[in-house]
Amino acid sequence: MLNPRPTSPELHVNLDALIANYSWFCAQAPNSKTGVALKANAYGIGMDAVGPALLEAGCTVFFVAHISEGVRLRRLLGSAPLIYVLHGAATGEVEVMLAHRLYPVLNSRPQIALWRNDGAGAPAALHVDTGMNRTGLPFAELPETKFDELNLQMIMSHLACAATPEHPLNEIQRDRFLQVTRQFPGIAASFCNSAGVLLGDEYHFDLTRIGIGLFGASPLHASLPPPPLTPVARIQAPIIQLKTVSKSETVGYGGTFCAPGAMQIAILAYGYADGLPRSVGATSFGWVGKTPTSILGRVSMDLTVVDVSQVKKPLEIGDHIEFLGPDLDAFAQSCNGEAYEILTSISPRVKRVYKREAS
C-alpha cells in the first residue's frame, strides 16, 4: 500500500547561493555594474523569488526577453530598477512599455523608427550585431542609420563564442564593439554575458549582463575548468513505489532496459512533463546522499525508474532521489543538452521551494 506522503517533485532553490554567485560575478568586473538577465522565468528558477532577492542584493539593471516578462518584473520590483526588453518594441506594445517604464533594446531600423515616432522620448538601448548574426542592427548598417531624436541610454552587443575564450571571434567582436562605442561617446556600453565576464577587463565595459552563471552552472565550454560557483537548485523527486526486478526482466516502455541480474528499483513521480528530458542516457543518474542512482529505461510523462541497488540505507515510499544539485552541468551533458535547457524546461507544475539560509 502506498504511503500518503507528497508525491510531486519539488525544485529546491537556495537564494543565498544565488546571491553568492551574483557577488562573485560583481567581483570579477569591479569597475563595471553587474546587470542580470531574468528571461524565461529567471531561467526556470522563478522570477517571483529571484528578482526581489537580487534587488535586495543591490542589482539595479535587469533584462528580460518578452514584454510580458517585463511587466511582471516591474510589478515585482517597483519603480526603481531599470528593466530592458531584449526583443525590443513592436507595434501595439509601445503604450504598455511606456506605462510600465520598460526600455526596449532596439534591434533593427524598423524598431528604431517605431520608438522614434511613438516612444515619447523615453529611454532605449541599441543592440548592434558585431558578429553573432542573431538579433541586432547589422554592424555594416551602423554608419548609414540615423539615431537622432532617440534617448539612447545604452549601447550593447552579444558575444557568440565567449564560452570558448580562445575563439578568434571574441576579439573580432570586441574590436567592432569598440568602434560602435566611439560613435556614441558618453553612453553606457554593455557587452558581456556570464562567460564574457571571464574574458577579462577589456570585455567588461560599463555593464555586464549575467544569466546562467547566477544559477551555479558553468558558462564555459564543458572541456574547460568551471569557475567556483555555488549550486543553486536541486530537484527532489519522490519515490512512489519500490520493487525488485529479476534477471532478464525489462523496465519501461519498449523494454529498452533489461536487468543483468536481480535489482532494487524505485519508481519516481518525475517525468518529461516535469522537465526531465527523454534524452537521458545510460550515464544519467540521480543521487541518494553521495550514492548515484542510474536512470533505467525510457522516461515516461510522469514517472521515471532508477536503480537503488547500491543505496545502503533503507528506502521508503516518500523518500527522495535528488537531481541537478552540484552536478547540473554533468547531468545536462548526459542528456545531450546544456544547463540552460535543463533549467528552463522545468515544468510549472514542479513546486518551487525557496530558502535563504546558506547551505
Mean pLDDT in order along the chain per 10 residues (359 residues): 69 97 98 98 97 98 98 97 97 96 98 97 98 96 94 98 97 98 97 97 98 95 91 95 97 95 97 92 85 94 96 94 88 88 95 82
Q: Which amino acid is at 50?
A: V
Residue 100, C-alpha cell as written in the block: 510600465
Question: Which residue among 39, 43, 203, 272 is the active-site one?
Answer: 39
Selection from 132, 194, 171 nearest residue 338 by Cα: 194
- Is the whole model's pTM more than 0.85, yes or no? yes
- 279 HSE (CA, 13 A, CB side): 12
The pLDDT value given to residue 333: 87
The pLDDT value given to residue 1: 43
Question: Which residue among 146, 243, 247, 253 is the active-site one?
Answer: 253
The pLDDT value given to residue 327: 79
The pLDDT value given to residue 283: 78
Q: Is the separation of the CB atoms in 315 and 308 below 8 Å?
A: yes
Q: Is 313 a catalytic residue?
A: no
Q: Is the separation of the CB atoms in 242 and 307 below 8 Å?
A: no
Handedness of CA 205, 171, 38, 222 (dihedral sign): negative
Q: Is the separation of the CB atoms in 352 and 13 below 8 Å?
A: yes
Q: Is 84 a catalytic residue?
A: no
Domains and CATH numbers, the chain: 31-215 (3.20.20.10), 231-355 (2.40.37.10)
The pLDDT value given to residue 358: 52
The pLDDT value given to residue 4: 56
The pLDDT value given to residue 5: 67
The pLDDT value given to residue 306: 96
The pLDDT value given to residue 334: 85
**358, burial (CB in 10 Å: exposed 0-12, middle 13-18, buried 19+):** exposed
Residue 24, SS3 per DSSP: helix
Q: Is the separation of the CB atoms in 348 and 40 below 8 Å?
A: no
The pLDDT value given to residue 262: 97
